[in-house]
Structure 1
Amino acid sequence: MNQAPIHKEGKANRLIDATSPYLLQHAYNPVNWYPWSEEALDKARKEDKPILVSIGYSSCHWCHVMERESFENDSIAAIMNEHFIAIKVDREERPDVDQIYMDALQAMGQNGGWPLNVFLTSDQKPFYGGTYFPPQAWAKLLQQVATVYNEKRGEIEESAEQLTNAIATSEVIKYRLKNEGSEYNVNGMDKMYESIAARFDKKRGGLNRSPKFPMPGQWLFLLRYYHLTDNQEALRHIEVTLHEIAYGGIYDQAGGGFARYSVDANWLVPHFEKMLYDNGQLVSLYSEAYTATGNELYKQVVSQTIEWLEREMTNSMGGFYSALDADSEGEEGKFYVWTKAEIEKITGDDSDLIKDYYNITEEGNWEEGKNILHRRISDHEFAAQRGIDVAILNEKIAKANNLFLKERTQRVRPGLDDKALSGWNGLMLKGLVDAYIAFGEEKFLTMALNNASFITSEMSDGERLFRSYKEGKATIDGYLEDYAHVIDAFIALYQATFDEKWLNKAKTMTDYTLKHFFDNGEKLFFYTDDSSEKLIVRKKEIFDNVIPASNSQMALNLHLLGIIYDNDDYKSKSKAMIGKMTSLLEGEPTYLYNWGILYSYLASSTAEVAIVGSNANNIRIRFGKRYYPNKVVIGTKQSSNLPLLKGKEAINDQTTIYVCYNKTCKLPVTDIDQAYEQLK
């Protein structure tokens, strides 16, 4: 697999030794770039120069544009080199740095985005910033900032101090968080649902806006709400959303996998990069939706996306790469789009059917007669209109997709960001486990186990995680995000396999986070390890975005592990965490959806399902095919020291299911249907 291109002209700068593909892209810029390092920060202090921090990531389209226009421009580079210590940061490797300076930009009253360019005093305090700048505007700004820094230093330092104090304010103080949560009920869930439902796009799904970003966690919350309340409007919205995304250009119809977002409201025109974190969560979402609805479209999407993961995003040890670029040959989407003539040549006798199925036209729906493959109706509807059998249609579509993939092998591929990030691997690992539980495909479990082994052998030293892995080397202390999502995945992997080593690893890492990340005063976790590099502020992440907040995920992890291990400390910490968020959550759940999922567990009591006997694993597989999200499933073929399995045994040598709530069990049964009746 190729990675993002490196422009090898002239002399390399200090980024040449980086592991980040994004930094390596800039290694031959005439800018005298440094990575974020003590060397760069010390140089700024010694020379009393302002710092320019430029933050981006390998699949960022406008990052590439600004590099071509400005950072490869010798005259602009000369200005940067003369007046600034220039530091390049990969936001995916250093989200802690990105988080601080993105907060600073927003505190300046500006909209955030990438590339993120922020000017700092020599002691790392921000005083001005922005995102993308055209080359002339960038050159002018550099000169102005250099002049003001030299002539009005006192004003600059005063402004930087005020900004630093603003971003250093504790989230608990900033959002007036206090422990208010003790009653968790359906009424609270109704309030959250009504707040989100007011923004539904009822025709195309998602929220009523453009561009449209997949937000898998919001829809998982709605699924949990539907399960708890049987609200049919919630289910309809989930189904419309998942159908429209699966039919749209945001989904790679030929090869599987989802793009980062669509620029329009119809999910048609994607921003073509594919991110591991989106795809991991969407695999989980479509798998869970399948168990709730039985819709075969969801199974198709999951299977095709996992094929893409295996084909294009997996290293030799089972680790998963981070991203595929939007661009190839300097053109966005070129790898993925088709002309009408190309479709006709590739598909031959079936071309009329394929053109209709994927809505191919001479004019195109993209640029210059180019088409993004997309669908508008179900296979059953299309087959009926054509008067052919659905099975025959599916064969022809599968054949065409294989021909498209073969043709793509002749094209220049988008850049591959081939670093593995532990937290993102955790999200995809969880997706694979959810897919295995929903569909029972052994390949999904094999990929999950290989990935879990990769994380533990290459990205962990036992209780600690590292953030990034590339070319045999793990670097950067793990962030709370990494621990939170790997712990979540390992809890799920235990529940799918009943192999207690994954549960033990989840507990070990949880205990590490409690020791090194948890703020006992505010009852929330810091984003960084207490032994990691000290930045100007130490932040806490509480709002769910495209990726669930690390604090909300840790609260969920503590809830589940607290039940499995009967650990009151875990459970009380989890309740204290969500208790702080309750008032915010009921009023504005859109970016607190993962907290809302935990709220739903507390509103209805989490079921404890214990399966004991020689056939425990097979019963577990069958048990997972029905939708009941608020449960933990534990099991053993013989015996276990887990508290919820003590004293439980197979009755009359038959594998036995115990359904319990709050450690109080109903009558043991040997029939899955009876167990589900007890859950109801």
Structure 2
Amino acid sequence: MSQATTHKEAKANRLIHATSPYLLQHAYNPVNWYPWGEEALEKARKEDKPILVSIGYSSCHWCHVMERESFENDSIAAIMNEHFVAIKVDREERPDVDQIYMDAVQAMGQNGGWPLNVFLTSDQKPFYGGTYFPPQAWAKLLQQVATVYREKRSEVEESAEQLTNAIATSEVVKYRLKDEGTEYSINALDMMYDNIGQHFDKKRGGFNRAPKFPMPGQWLFLLRYYHLTDNQEALRQIEVTLNEIAYGGIYDQAGGGFARYSVDAEWLVPHFEKMLYDNGQLVSLYSEAYTVTGNELYKQVVYQTIEWLEREMTNSMGGFYSALDADSEGEEGKFYVWTKDEIEQITGNDSDLIIDYYNITEEGNWEEGKNILHKTVSDREFATKRGIDIESLAEKVVNANTLLLKARTHRVRPGLDDKALSGWNGLMLKGLVDAYVAFGEEKFLMLALNNAAFITDSMSDGNRLFRSYKEGKASIDGYLEDYAHVIDAFLALYQATFDEQWLTQARELTDYTLEHFYDSGEKLFFYTDDSSEKLIARKKEVFDNVIPASNSQMAINLYLLGVIYDHEDYKAKSRAMIGKMTTLLEGEPAYLYNWGILYTYLTAPIAEVAIVGTNAKNVRIDFAKKYYPNKVVMGTKQSSGLPLLEGKITKGDETTIYVCYNKTCKLPVTEVEEAFEQLK
């Protein structure tokens, strides 16, 4: 087979006009790629050719490998161009397309993953697919599929029809989701905890398997469970998990921010890509865990990760980029690893301490003498071992990290996926608000407000969201995921600032989803807007994964909005949604954790906290110093039209706190401690 064509010799294909960095990476492949759209689909129909859909994302390591081996190879490209209409899809821009064809590959009995390569009939119905293929196997498969499509067309179409029917089956039917009234109980939560607890890795945290994904929502659920039950074993498992992740190579010790997952069970060797959605949720998790535990490690992690966000992931308008690649110079992790000699040269007089602190060896813990920075003990234990006070250690580590970061600026950086996705921005916005609430750091609030303004000004049109933004242009209709996480973030921003514009926007976006996404028959939301492009199936997302399911988040949003606005229909819809999920939730809580968080809101009465007076914001800051997640917080300096603030007045000139349950209030108080006594 011939060698790959260089960019200088190559002609650009149709991907050259894309906004997606992933599609642009393939713009000079000899494959005659099309973006997903009517031009490609019409060509397949007109020429009666099968479609090859290849789905990935910009920071996907094996996507790059398959591109180098196959899609840049002239001979393999010639086979693809002759027999197929080849379509490249960025799964981050088009999760609706990805979800359909991922379901198809899994329905074929295969494991899903990316790159995802699926063969379709000319009318978009899938009949075969898989993930990564080595070049010789890929070339052989292309020839075989082309032959079968030509010579056994009726069998292919029959198989495709069956697969399409399977993936188009409603999730309500597929998972036997029934309308069940639910009596919310601690016993049921105990059952969920016991189910999850069977799989704990009690030594290293997380679950007893590899690879390990942080899955922050699972630990947020367990924090809420701990709050209701005071189960010390649950808290210990949360702390072990958060400590070990923060010590591990999955956390960028020098620069902040988390990689997507660890390939081993020790959190040591990461898959080095950094995703915005992971980091947003982990900032929320570590902030909330700090409020529970007061562990300074968690505060350090949050501050350092937000510094990384500001330094490397923020555009000039306050929007957040999507991802950093795992690779640089064609080598995974090269940007992040160090030899012992490099550490000695960079950190100078403190090199002996830093080498010990980060467990650096001559042999390396990665490959070829290269080391992934990681810790094995707490700073206090390390300081004791070295006979140094904790403050001096902290100063030396910060200095060393600054020097290492400076040295990294001379390296070739990993690729940056510089599109902004509204749902992922919502997750990071929520993380910033949670960090501001936990630590009272004004810089976090400014970053949050700038990002909220970016979403409002650049990624929305009235009460309608767009999915993607790049180079001054917003594109693609928002998915339910985008609405769900932006609404969640705006709700949090209102409760942190008492600025009602964010609450109003949250309600308007919610009402838009009810009009355009809600299935009143099945009482769940579709993933796509009713005005979006019609695909071969319209899916509903119900399982929580690395990102919480859009339906579970909308159920939480509806419930909280229902409480704040005293809106019974919102609350009824929320209860109907979780009512369908309860049987599944009790049996499979690990992948329904966000539904579990809603369950905790419904198990114990949710407190309606109203703060009224000129000092309302500062009282809110004091109020956040103790952990009490089962609440909504509203406030005003003078007056408000919100139902739960109407008629609330100050006691004399003092800012006054009202603690209410189901619109029935206890005596108004002026001290935060008194309000917390009422919450008990």
**Residue of structure 1 in register with 2:90 after alignment:** 90
SS in 2 for 1:128: strand
- In the alignment, the residues of structure 1 paired with residue 123 and residue 540 of structure 2 have an alpha-carbon distance, to the nearest angstrom, of 22
1:327-379 deviations in whole A, cap 9, x for unaligned? 00000000000000000000111110000000000000001000000001111
User: Displacement of 1:7 after TM fit?
Assistant: 5.1
User: Displacement of 1:660 after TM fit?
Assistant: 0.5
SS in 2 for 1:651: coil
User: Displacement of 1:314 after TM fit?
Assistant: 0.1
**Residue of structure 2 in register with 1:467 after alignment:** 467
- In the alignment, the residues of structure 2 paired with residue 31 and residue 543 of structure 1 have an alpha-carbon distance, to the nearest angstrom, of 36
**Residue of structure 2 in register with 1:198 after alignment:** 198
Say if 1:441 and 1:136 are closer, same or farther in 2 by CA, change over 3 A: same
Q: Which amino acid aligns with 1:370?
A: K
**Residue of structure 1 in register with 2:663 after alignment:** 663
- In the alignment, the residues of structure 2 paired with residue 187 and residue 181 of structure 1 have an alpha-carbon distance, to the nearest angstrom, of 16
**Residue of structure 2 in register with 1:554 after alignment:** 554
Matched, 1:296 2:296: yes
- In the alignment, the residues of structure 1 paired with residue 442 and residue 261 of structure 2 have an alpha-carbon distance, to the nearest angstrom, of 31
Matched, 1:237 2:237: yes
Say if 1:578 and 1:7 are closer, same or farther in 2 by CA, change over 3 A: farther
Q: Which amino acid aligns with 1:82?
A: E
Q: Are the equivalent residues in 1 in contact too, given 2:182–2:582 (CA < 8 A)?
A: no
Q: Which amino acid aligns with 1:616?
A: A
User: Displacement of 1:221 after TM fit?
Assistant: 0.3
Q: Are the equivalent residues in 2 in contact too, given 1:9–1:28 (CA < 8 A)?
A: no
Q: Are the equivalent residues in 2 in contact too, given 1:58–1:325 (CA < 8 A)?
A: yes
User: Displacement of 1:9 after TM fit?
Assistant: 4.5
- In the alignment, the residues of structure 2 paired with residue 248 and residue 181 of structure 1 have an alpha-carbon distance, to the nearest angstrom, of 44
**Residue of structure 1 in register with 2:648 after alignment:** 648
Q: Are the equivalent residues in 2 in contact too, given 1:8–1:28 (CA < 8 A)?
A: no
Q: Are the equivalent residues in 2 in contact too, given 1:259–1:275 (CA < 8 A)?
A: yes
Superposition pairs for residues 31-430 of structure 1, below 5 Å?
31-430=31-430
1:4-31 deviations in whole A, cap 9, x for unaligned? xx95641000000000000000000000
1:528-585 deviations in whole A, cap 9, x for unaligned? 0000000000000000000000000000000000000000110000000000000000
Superposition pairs for residues 544-583 of structure 1, below 5 Å?
544-583=544-583
Matched, 1:521 2:493: no
Superposition pairs for residues 454-493 of structure 1, below 5 Å?
454-493=454-493
User: Displacement of 1:267 after TM fit?
Assistant: 0.1
- In the alignment, the residues of structure 2 paired with residue 7 and residue 200 of structure 1 have an alpha-carbon distance, to the nearest angstrom, of 49
Q: Are the equivalent residues in 1 in contact too, given 2:219–2:238 (CA < 8 A)?
A: yes
Q: Are the equivalent residues in 2 in contact too, given 1:589–1:596 (CA < 8 A)?
A: yes
Q: Which amino acid aligns with 1:222?
A: L
Superposition pairs for residues 522-537 of structure 1, below 5 Å?
522-537=522-537
Q: Which amino acid aligns with 1:515?
A: E
Say if 1:8 and 1:61 are closer, same or farther in 2 by CA, change over 3 A: farther
- In the alignment, the residues of structure 2 paired with residue 138 and residue 670 of structure 1 have an alpha-carbon distance, to the nearest angstrom, of 71
1:230-267 deviations in whole A, cap 9, x for unaligned? 00000000000000000000000000000000000000
User: Displacement of 1:587 after TM fit?
Assistant: 1.0
SS in 2 for 1:628: coil
- In the alignment, the residues of structure 1 paired with residue 286 and residue 264 of structure 2 have an alpha-carbon distance, to the nearest angstrom, of 22
Q: Are the equivalent residues in 2 in contact too, given 1:260–1:275 (CA < 8 A)?
A: yes
User: Displacement of 1:182 after TM fit?
Assistant: 2.2
Structure 1: tracts of 5 or more residues without a match: 1-5
TM-score, normalised on structure 1?
A: 0.99
Q: Are the equivalent residues in 1 in contact too, given 2:12–2:28 (CA < 8 A)?
A: yes
1:168-207 deviations in whole A, cap 9, x for unaligned? 0000001110111320010110010000000000000001
- In the alignment, the residues of structure 1 paired with residue 103 and residue 261 of structure 2 have an alpha-carbon distance, to the nearest angstrom, of 23
1:410-445 deviations in whole A, cap 9, x for unaligned? 000000000000000000000000000000000000
Q: Are the equivalent residues in 1 in contact too, given 2:284–2:432 (CA < 8 A)?
A: yes
Q: Are the equivalent residues in 1 in contact too, given 2:213–2:261 (CA < 8 A)?
A: yes
Q: Are the equivalent residues in 2 in contact too, given 1:51–1:120 (CA < 8 A)?
A: yes
Say if 1:7 and 1:670 are closer, same or farther in 2 by CA, change over 3 A: farther
Q: Are the equivalent residues in 2 in contact too, given 1:433–1:496 (CA < 8 A)?
A: yes
Matched, 1:603 2:628: no
SS in 2 for 1:119: strand
- In the alignment, the residues of structure 2 paired with residue 492 and residue 178 of structure 1 have an alpha-carbon distance, to the nearest angstrom, of 31
- In the alignment, the residues of structure 2 paired with residue 542 and residue 674 of structure 1 have an alpha-carbon distance, to the nearest angstrom, of 40
Give the ranges of 4+ consecutive aligned residues of structure 1 lying more than 6 Å apart after TM superposition. Answer: none
**Residue of structure 1 in register with 2:538 after alignment:** 538
SS in 2 for 1:88: strand
SS in 2 for 1:590: helix
SS in 1 for 2:111: coil
User: Displacement of 1:588 after TM fit?
Assistant: 1.0
Q: Which amino acid aligns with 1:296?
A: E
1:285-326 deviations in whole A, cap 9, x for unaligned? 000000011111000000000000000000000000000000
Q: Are the equivalent residues in 1 in contact too, given 2:432–2:447 (CA < 8 A)?
A: yes
- In the alignment, the residues of structure 1 paired with residue 620 and residue 64 of structure 2 have an alpha-carbon distance, to the nearest angstrom, of 48
- In the alignment, the residues of structure 2 paired with residue 204 and residue 451 of structure 1 have an alpha-carbon distance, to the nearest angstrom, of 35
Q: Are the equivalent residues in 2 in contact too, given 1:7–1:25 (CA < 8 A)?
A: no
**Residue of structure 2 in register with 1:452 after alignment:** 452
- In the alignment, the residues of structure 1 paired with residue 269 and residue 257 of structure 2 have an alpha-carbon distance, to the nearest angstrom, of 15
Q: Which amino acid aligns with 1:523?
A: K
Q: Are the equivalent residues in 2 in contact too, given 1:292–1:626 (CA < 8 A)?
A: yes
Superposition pairs for residues 425-440 of structure 1, below 5 Å?
425-440=425-440
- In the alignment, the residues of structure 1 paired with residue 108 and residue 162 of structure 2 have an alpha-carbon distance, to the nearest angstrom, of 11
- In the alignment, the residues of structure 2 paired with residue 651 and residue 337 of structure 1 have an alpha-carbon distance, to the nearest angstrom, of 60
Q: Are the equivalent residues in 2 in contact too, given 1:260–1:271 (CA < 8 A)?
A: yes
SS in 1 for 2:464: coil
